[in-house]
Structure 1
Amino acid sequence: MAKPAPPRTERRFRGFEPASALLKERIRAAGETRGFAVTRLLTAWAEIVGPDLARVTRPVKVSYPRDGFGATLTLLVRSAHAPMVEMEKPRLIGKVNACYGYAAISRVVLTQTAPTGFDGGQADFAAIPKAPAPPDPKVEAEAANMATGTEDEGLRRALESLTRNYLTRMAQSKKGS
């Protein structure tokens, strides 16, 4: 008498998988511990609220009341930007609710913090870029001199830019050493 064949187990053999697919469940579980049922709120914060608000805020948690209606979103915000974010609360609530697809958030609570070093560095805010220093006239003259004789306008501007960047970096490296 022949033995019955063992049940076949399905093998997962789809080649390479994106890292996001491998970590999807872990990210979802970690987000749910903080009340984030929609992890997109964490991963796409800048796209949801816009780059200006994303630069100075970070979502921390979503708290749901006992009756289940009107959750509270807690945000970290730099102290200097808190008044501006306070005025933007109605717009923030609208954008976050658009992410959820329904009126999930009814309140936003701001927690003011220092710009860096909070929560083990996990909530560091992006640095506000400084205005670039005015170009050195000597470097500008040298860059224009190097590109002299080039007939194509686009190529001439590219050569000037390349020369300007090279000479600026060389001057900075000499100052640093």
Structure 2
Amino acid sequence: MRRPLPTPAEAIDILARKRTRPQRRPPPPAGRALNGFVKELDARFGQGPGALQARWREIVGPDIARRTEPVKLTRPRAGGPAALEIRVAGPAAALIQHQQPQILARVNLFLGAGAVDRLRIVQGPLRNPGEAAAARHPVRRRLPPLDAAREAELARGLAAAPDGPLKTALTELGRNVLRRTEDPTRR
């Protein structure tokens, strides 16, 4: 047997007597809820090696940055100052070890007073050796060729020299000297 549906008047009467659920409140903004937690974590752990890696060249200077890179920042469980581990390219470790007080002072200036008290030096290849190589070997500009008159003058000057590797070397030297005297930016 089918149950008959209520009439519109009965439906309004039923809904007026029934208690409905309260409307849900939206959750608070996530930023407000996480703000205290993030502040606590920042106070406890501070900036890590990511901030150091991003600004390492500014912190320690170009000479030291060319030979080193920060690896990790190790904090003791009981709290207190951390130890900074840096990777040094090959034999430069002895030089970096002598500059340890300056490096620690610069890192503490960036991270905050007393943030790092020890420097741990690990020898190994750097992740970005291309930067260091580019800094050591700057790209040289190619000089423009000599004009025909100067080339002929150089050939007349070396006409008495016997043919062979000496004459070839003297010709190349003469060209380079004459090109440099033509180019006023290369002095």
What number of residue pairs does the alignment pair up? 110
Q: 1:40 to 1:131 in 2, by over 3 A?
A: closer
The answer for the alignment partner of 1:105 in structure 2 is 116
The answer for the alignment partner of 1:126 in structure 2 is 132
Q: Distance in 2 between matches of 1:79 and 1:142?
A: 39
- CA-CA distance at 1:66 after TM superposition: 1.0
* Identity within the alignment, %: 28
Structure with greater Cα Rg = 2
Q: Distance in 1 between matches of 2:74 and 2:117?
A: 11
Which of 62, 66, 74 lines up with 1:63 in the alignment? 74
The answer for the alignment partner of 1:168 in structure 2 is none
Q: Distance in 1 between matches of 2:180 and 2:63?
A: 35
What does residue range 77-88 of structure 1 map to in structure 2 within 5 Å?
77-88=88-99
Which of 129, 139, 147 lines up with 2:176 in the alignment? 139
**Aligned residue type for 1:104:** A
Structure 2 unaligned residues grouped into runs of 5+: 1-41, 141-171
**Root mean square deviation of aligned Cα:** 3.2
Q: Distance in 1 between matches of 2:46 and 2:175?
A: 55
- CA-CA distance at 1:52 after TM superposition: 0.8
The answer for the alignment partner of 1:8 in structure 2 is none
Which of 40, 47, 69 lines up with 1:37 in the alignment? 47
The answer for the alignment partner of 2:184 in structure 1 is 157
**Aligned residue type for 2:136:** P
Structure 1 unaligned residues grouped into runs of 5+: 1-31, 116-121, 148-155, 162-177
